[in-house]
A and B are shown apart, each in its own frame.
Chain A
Amino acid sequence: MTVEIAAEPLDLGCEADFTYNVSASGDGLRLSLIVPDIRCAACAFSIERALGRVNGVTGCNVNLSDQRVVVDFKNVDVDDITGAIEKSGYTVLPDRTAEIQSSIVAERKALLARLGVAGIGMMQVMMFSLAGYVAGDQGIEPAYESLMRWASLAIATPIAFYSASVFHQGAWRDLVHRSPGMDVPVSLAILVAWSLSVFNTFSGNGAVYFDSVCMFSFFLLIGRYVELRSRQRYQESQNLSDSLLPACARVCGEGEDRLVDMKLIRPGDRVRVLPGERMPVDGFIVHGSTSTNEAAFTGEAAPVNKHAGATVLAGSDNLDGEVQIEAQAGYDEFVITKISDLFRESSAYRPRFSVLADRIARHFVVAILGLAAATAMFWLFAGAENWVAIGLTVLVVSCPCALSLATPVAYTVATSAMRNVGVVISQGAFLERVSLINRVVFDKTGTLTRGRFKVAEIRHLTHAPHQMDSLAVATALERDSKHPLARAFDLMSDIVARDIDVVPGRGVRGYIDGHEYRLGSPDFAWDRSIQVPSESGIWILLAGEEPLAWICLTDEDRPEVPGVMAWLREHGFSISILTGDSSGDGARLANDLGIEQLFSGMTPECKVEQVRGYQAAGDHVLVVGDGINDTAAMGIANASIAVTPVDVFVQTAADATLVNGNLEVVPKILDFAQKTRRIIRQNVGWAIAYNLCAIPFAVTGLLLPWMAALGMSASSLVVVLNANRLFKVE
C-alpha cells in the first residue's frame, strides 16, 4: 500500500493513497472519492466532463449533495483519474466513509421502494373500496363487491408483507429482546387486519380492511422515511474531523522516503514533515526544530516552539521547520482519533425527554395490548359479531406512535436545520438547554475578535531618506512564510527579497538589493538590547543595519459583534465577557460594546468559578468560547458554543460548534431553540390529547377500523409535519 515518492516534494494534502477506495464493479473497477469543494451543479458537470475525457473511464457520477464522486474505470491508473479532477481545480480526498455511506444509501433506497409501493398500492385499493363507500347502505352487487375484494387482496398483500416488513422485523426484534416497542402493536394490527380481511374475502361475508392496512402502512412509512432522512443527514454532518488528518505520511526509509497510508503507521516509524504540512502522527521530534500551531487542540493560534525531544500531536500544523518525528502510537491511538471517536459517540446522545417518552411508550404498549385483548373479549362475550374488528380498532387507535415520534423527529429536523446555517450540534440536549438560557458569557480572543493578526501601528525608528517603506519590506520578507503572524502582511509589494531564511520560532531574514534585513522578535532582529514599546499588542522589530521600525500586530475585532450584542440586550439577555487577556484590550472592547460585566486576566479556574457564581444566582448560562481555556467553563455551563471549526478538542467540550465562525448565528440559535421547544410541546400535547380522546370511542365500539387507522397515522403525520416546520432557521 505504498507509493514511491516522486523526485520533487509532494504536497501531502493532495497526495493520498486511494487504493482503499477502489472496489470491483462489473468487469471493471470502481473508485469512490470525496471532492469537498463541489459547491454547485456547474462544479459537478465540469468534473463529469473532465472525467469523460480520460481514456478508460467507463462511467462517472458526481453527487452534488454529498460531494462524492464515483468513477467506473478499466485499464487506467487511479492517479490519472484523480489528476484529471485536480487539473480542473478541485481537491480530491480519499473517501474514508465509503462503506458507511453505501450502507446508508442502501437503507434509504430500500425504505423508499417500500414507501412507494405502499403509496401507489394504497391509491388503487382506496379506489376499489371507494365504490363500497359511495354506494352507502344499499351496498353494491355482491359479484362486484367480491371482485373488488379480491383485487384489493392482490394489492394489499405485498403492502402488508413487503412494505410493512420494517414493522414486522422491528416487532420481532422487540419480542426477542423482550422490550416491546411501537412496532409490536403496529405489526400486530397490520397482520390481524390483513388476516381478518382475507378470511372475510374467502368466506364472502363480514367487512374487509384492506384500505386501512394500506393507509396505515403508507402513513407510518412516510413518518419512518422522514425520520430516516433526518437521522442520516445528521450522521453525515458528524464527519467533520476526518478532514483534519492528512491521508498519508512520508516515512523515512533507507535511502529514500516512502509515502505510507496513515492507518499503516506503526509506533517507532520515523516520519518526515515539511514546513506548512500537517503533523501526521503523535510522537516526538528526533531531528530538527520548528514551531507548530496547535490551535486544533488548544484554540491558541500563537505558534509553539518545538525542538528535538518535544512531543507533537497529529493534526497540528508544522509552521516553519523541517522535522523528523518518531511515531509513538498507531492511528487508532492518536489523540485526535480518540477525540473524534468521542465526538461521534456523543452525537449518538438522545434527548432526555425522548428517552422518557420511549420508556412511557414501552409500558403503554403492554397496556394497550392488554386493553385491546380485554375489549375484544368483552365484545365476544357480549355477543358482538365484530369483536375482532373492535379489538383491532382499540389496538390501532391507542398506539402511541405520535408520542414516541414527537421529540426525536423535532430534534433531528432542528439539528439538520442548524447544520444548514453552520451550527454543528454535538450534544443532543443542546437546544433543550439553550431554550432556558438568560445569560450569555463570551470569551474575548478568538471569539469576539478573529484571532487573526493585523498591523495596527508602525513606529519608525529612523528617518533616513533612502529607506524603503517598512511595511513593504516586511511584506517581502514574510511573503512565503506560513507563520500565523505573517498573515498580517498580506499586502501587495513589488519589492523582492532574496535568500529568505526562516528561523523557526524567531523570525525571518532576507536580502533586498544586497542589504540584509531581519524581522521578528527584538533579540533576533537586533543583537543589542532595545526598549520594547509598552503598549498592548505584539511588537516585532524590523532591522537592517540599524533598527528601522517597530510593527505592532493586534487582533482584529469581528465586525458582527456590535449587532449581536444589541440583539441580545434587546431580548433581555445578560451579557458578560470573561477573558484570559489581562491587557487593556478587553476594557477597550467592552467599552465599545457597552458591556459592563468584564472580567480580565481570568484563568480557566476563575472562569469556572464565575460561571458557577452566575448559576448560584439562578442564571442559566451559555458560554461562547474558542480555546482550551474555555473548555472547563463550557463543561460547567448550561450550554456552550465553540466558535472556530478547527479545534476538535474544544468542539468536543462544547455542545455546538459554529462552522462559519460567524457570531451572527448566536441570536438565531437562541431564537430557534425557543421555536423548537414550542414545537415539541405542541407535538407532545397533541399526541397525548389524541390518545386520551380516541381510546374511549374505540373501546365502546363507536369507531371503525379505517377511522382508527386514519386517525392514528394522521396523528403521527401531524407530529412529523409539525416538526418539519423547524426545517428553516430564520
Chain B
Amino acid sequence: MEIIFILIPVSLVIVIAALWAFVWAVRNDQFEDLDKEASRILFDKDEHSD
C-alpha cells in the first residue's frame, strides 16, 4: 500500500489544477451568460455574402 504515498500527493496536484481551472473560468466570465452560449450552435458564424 506504499503507493498511497504517491497517490495522495498526485490527488493534491489534481485538486490544485481543478481549483485553478475553476477560478480561471470564473475570472474570465465563463459563467456570465449561460443562456446565450447554449444557443450559439444554432446560429451561423457569419452570413455568406457581405
- A residues near B (Cβ < 8 Å) are 40-42, 44-45, 49, 52-53, 61-65, 105, 109, 112-113, 116-117, 120-121, 124, 127-128, 141, 144, 147-148, 151, 154-155, 158
- Neighbouring A residues of B8 by C-beta, 8 Å: 128, 147-148, 151
- Neighbouring A residues of B38 by C-beta, 8 Å: 41
- Neighbouring B residues of A144 by C-beta, 8 Å: 1, 4
Contact of A120 among B18, B33, B47 (CB under 8 A): B18
Q: A120-B15, A151-B11 in contact; A62/B36 too (CB < 8 A)?
A: yes
Q: Mark B6-50, 1 if CB is under 8 A from A, else 0.
A: 001101100100110011001101011101101110110011001
Q: A41-B42, A41-B43, A120-B22 in contact; A105/B12 too (CB < 8 A)?
A: no
Nearest B residue (CB) for A110: B26
Within the complex, what minimum Cβ distance (angstroms) separates A632 from chain B?
Answer: 43
Contact indicator A41/B22 (Cβ below 8 Å): no
Query: Can you list 28 A-B contacts (CB < 8 A)?
Result: A40-B39, A41-B36, A41-B39, A41-B40, A41-B42, A42-B39, A42-B43, A45-B39, A45-B40, A45-B43, A61-B29, A62-B36, A63-B36, A64-B35, A109-B27, A113-B23, A117-B19, A117-B23, A120-B15, A120-B22, A121-B15, A124-B12, A127-B11, A148-B8, A151-B8, A151-B12, A155-B12, A158-B19
Nearest A residue (CB) for B32: A63
Contact of B47 among A49, A63, A113, A121 (CB under 8 A): A49
Bound CA span A24–B21, Å: 28
Contact indicator B33/A65 (Cβ below 8 Å): yes
Bound CA span A342–B5, Å: 64
Bound CA span A147–B33, Å: 41
- Neighbouring A residues of B9 by C-beta, 8 Å: 151
Bound CA span A678–B34, Å: 32
Nearest B residue (CB) for A63: B33
Nearest B residue (CB) for A159: B19
Within the complex, what minimum Cβ distance (angstroms) separates B14 from chain A?
Answer: 8
Nearest B residue (CB) for A46: B43
Known: A42-B39, A120-B15, A158-B19. 8 other contacts (CB 8 A): A45-B39, A62-B36, A63-B33, A65-B33, A109-B27, A116-B19, A121-B15, A154-B12
Bound CA span A63–B36, Å: 8
- Neighbouring B residues of A155 by C-beta, 8 Å: 12, 15
Contact indicator B26/A109 (Cβ below 8 Å): yes
Within the complex, what minimum Cβ distance (angstroms) separates A392 from chain B?
Answer: 26
Within the complex, what minimum Cβ distance (angstroms) separates A93 from chain B?
Answer: 19
Bound CA span A719–B43, Å: 41
- Neighbouring B residues of A62 by C-beta, 8 Å: 36
Contact indicator A117/B43 (Cβ below 8 Å): no
Nearest A residue (CB) for B33: A63
Nearest B residue (CB) for A113: B26
Contact indicator A121/B19 (Cβ below 8 Å): yes
Bound CA span A121–B1, Å: 24
Bound CA span A235–B24, Å: 27
Bound CA span A144–B1, Å: 9
Contact of A64 among B12, B31, B36, B47 (CB under 8 A): B36
Bound CA span A117–B35, Å: 24
Bound CA span A667–B40, Å: 38
Contact indicator A147/B22 (Cβ below 8 Å): no
Nearest A residue (CB) for B28: A109
Bound CA span A65–B36, Å: 8
Bound CA span A44–B32, Å: 14
Nearest A residue (CB) for B43: A45
Nearest B residue (CB) for A40: B39
Contact indicator A41/B47 (Cβ below 8 Å): no
Bound CA span A665–B8, Å: 57
Within the complex, what minimum Cβ distance (angstroms) separates A674 from chain B?
Answer: 31
Q: A41-B35, A41-B39, A64-B35 in contact; A117/B22 too (CB < 8 A)?
A: yes
